[in-house]
Chain A
């Protein structure tokens, strides 16, 4: 079967750095994505990793290790507006190329 595991909640201080981990188990794998969702809003795309290594986009970075079926999202210089839920999602390989989401990590930021 397919499963994605990520912590349900993480708390960090404004200005700090936080890492949100994701481990996955799927029948096929193209890549790992990260999405951000604010309360009452729709998920929005943050990053995608198909190959091992680190991808950096401004204050956000995402890492993938295919051999470990593991990735993480790194948020630097945290701002209060980063308080949201963060979802990892796996793009499965195969005929239908489905995208399956984890349960999400709620990020709380303290002033």
Chain B
């Protein structure tokens, strides 16, 4: 049962570097999300996608980009990393049928920008 898989789990970036957080799900879910969670805080929605080829901004999209070329994959791109992007990033997915109210989260990616 793979569910939602994120890589890498940990990463240290220097200011100004770029990187991509990978996310893939094997549940054939249409909806996918990227959230960030700062220490002791809640989850902020960065970007989301309602299906392949469709993406939209969430609450805190600045400094990030996404793409959704397939149903399974939803990578998050950080351009010109800044210390404010130090956070834990969670990818998640949700079905639009059946138990469509349940979000399944990946294990998280811990990112530090120094």
**Contacts from A to B (Cβ < 8 Å):** 30-31, 33, 35, 41-45, 48, 50, 87, 89, 91, 96-104, 106
Contacts and interface: CB of A to CB of B under 8 A. Distances in A.
A96 B56 CA distance: 9
A99 B103 contact: yes
Nearest to B3: A42
A43 B102 CA distance: 11
Interface residues on B, range: 20 to 34
Given A33-B101, A98-B58, A99-B94, A42 B106 contact: yes
Given A42-B107, A91-B101, A106-B40, 5 more contacts: A35-B103, A50-B101, A97-B31, A101-B35, A104-B41
A43 B56 contact: no
Interface string B59-84: 10000000000000000000000000
A45 B42 contact: no
Nearest to A42: B105
